[in-house]
Amino acid sequence: MTTLHHNMSLKDEIRDFWSMRSETFDTQPGHEIFSPEERQAWLALFAGHIGRAEAGGAKALDLASGTGVISLLLAELGYGVTGLDLSEAMLARARAKTAGKPIRLYAGDAEDTLEEGDSYDVVATRHLVWTLPDPPSAFREWFRVLKPGGRVAIVDTDMTNPRPGNGKVLRLLARLAKRLSNPRPPAPYMATHENIVSRVYFSGGCRPEEVARLLSEAGFADIVIDRDLRAIHRAQGRFMPLYQRLERASQDRFLVCARKPG
Ligand SMILES: C[S@@+](CC[C@H](N)C(=O)[O-])C[C@H]1O[C@@H](n2cnc3c(N)ncnc32)[C@H](O)[C@@H]1O
C-alpha cells in the first residue's frame, strides 16, 4: 500500500508545475545542452567528481531526471542509469530522447525512492534540491540507497543570495542591462514558481554550505563544494542575452559532492 506523504499537496503542485513546463523545457539554454562545448564541460565536471564507470556495470540513480539531460551524460560516462521524476510529462520527453540507451525511467519521488538499500554507485541530481520540501530526509534516503563508498553529486543554484565575491556587483549590472535591453515580460508561470519557492525548505535560497551541512548530518563524508562551473556557463551564455548572462553569473551556482563512508 502506498502511504501519502504529509506534504503531498505541495508535491502535487510541484509535479503539475513541471508537467506544464515540460513543453518548452528543452528549448531553454541552461536546461538542454546546446553545444558540444557545453556537453564536454558537463562530462568533465561529473567525471571529475564521480569518475567514469569502470567496466562491470556501475549504476547511477538520476533523481528528478526531467527530460533526461543528466541521465544521458551519466550513460555517456558508462553508467547504467535509473532516472526517476514526479512528472509523467517530463518522463515522456525523456523516454523519447533516451530510447536505445542503458537508461531506465520511472515515475517516483526523490525523497522516497523505494529503491533497495546499498544498491547504487552514484546518486546524481541537477536542479532538484532547491525545490525539495524535506531535504534532510531526502539526503538520508540517498545515503541509504548508495553502496558504501558510493558518491552523491548535487548540481544546483542559490537563486536568492548573490554568489560570494562579485555576485552583488554582477546583480546590479544585470538589472541595469535588463532595463536597457527591453526584455520580454516575465513568463506567466513565474507567479506559481514564486509561490512554490516560498513554501519549500530552501525558501531563503539554496546555499551550498547548508546543503553540505545537511549531507554531513545524513552521514556523508569527504564533502566538497565546487563553484567552478565557468566552462559550462561560458558555453551556455553564447545562447543568452547579456542581461541573462550577468544574472546567472551573479547567482551562486555549484556542485556539491560527498561520499558514503565504507
Ligand atoms: C528544473 S527540472 C530539472 C530536470 C533535470 N534534473 C535537469 O537538470 O534537466 C526539475 C525536475 O524535478 C522534478 N521533481 C521535483 N520534485 C521532485 C521529487 N520530489 N521527486 C522527483 N522529481 C521531482 C520535476 O518534475 C522536474 O522534472
C-alpha of residue 15 to centroid of ligand 1, in Å: 8
CA 118 / ligand 1 centre spacing (Å)? 23
Cell of 21: 513546463
Is 236 close to ligand 1, i.e. is its CB under 6 Å away?
Answer: no
Position 2 pLDDT exceeds 90: no
pLDDT at 35 > cutoff 50: yes
Residue among 4, 39, 86, 159 whose CB has most ligand 1 atoms within 8 A, to mutate: 86
Residues 247-257 have a mean pLDDT of: 95
Q: Nearest residue CA, atom 12 of ligand 1?
A: 64
pLDDT digits (tens, 9 = 90+) for 226-238: 999 999 999 999 9
Candidates 131, 189, 192: which one to mutate for ligand 1, based on the most atoms within 8 Å of Cβ? 131
Q: What is the 3-state secondary structure (H, E, C) of 83-118?
A: EEECCHHHHHHHHHHHCCCCEEEEECECCECCCCCC
DSSP, res 119? -
Mutate which of 7, 15, 18, 26 for ligand 1 pocket (most atoms within 8 A of beta carbon): 18
Residues whose CB falls within 8 Å of the CB of residue 168, separated by 6 or more in sequence, listed in order:
162, 250
What rounded mean pLDDT belongs to the chain? 94
> pLDDT tens digit string along 200-221?
999 999 999 999 999 999 999 9
* 178 pLDDT above the threshold of 90: no
pLDDT value for 157:
97
Please report the pLDDT score of residue 217 as a whole number. 98
Residue 1 has pLDDT above 70, yes or no: no
pLDDT tens figures, 72-109: 999 999 999 999 999 999 999 999 999 999 999 999 99
Taking only the tens place, the pLDDT of each residue in 188-204 is 888 999 999 999 999 99
Quote the pLDDT of residue 248.
Answer: 92
The rounded Å distance from CA 181 to ligand 1 centre is 31
For the chain, which residues make up each domain, given as ranges?
Answer: 8-259
What is the model's pLDDT at position 6?
Answer: 53
Predicted pLDDT of residue 27? 94
Q: Is the CB of 109 under 6 A from ligand 1?
A: yes
User: β-strands 80-85, 59-63: how paired?
Assistant: parallel
Region of residue 100 (left: phi > 0; alpha: psi -120 to 50; beta: else): left
Domain 8-259 has CATH 3.40.50.150: yes
Residue, of 238 and 55, whose pLDDT is higher = 238
| pLDDT attached to residue 8 | 56
Task: Give the model's pLDDT for residue 150.
Answer: 98
| Model confidence at 4: pLDDT above 70 | no
* pLDDT recorded at residue 40: 98
- Is pLDDT above 50 for 3? no
How far is residue 84's CA from residue 95's CA, in Å, rounded to a whole number? 11
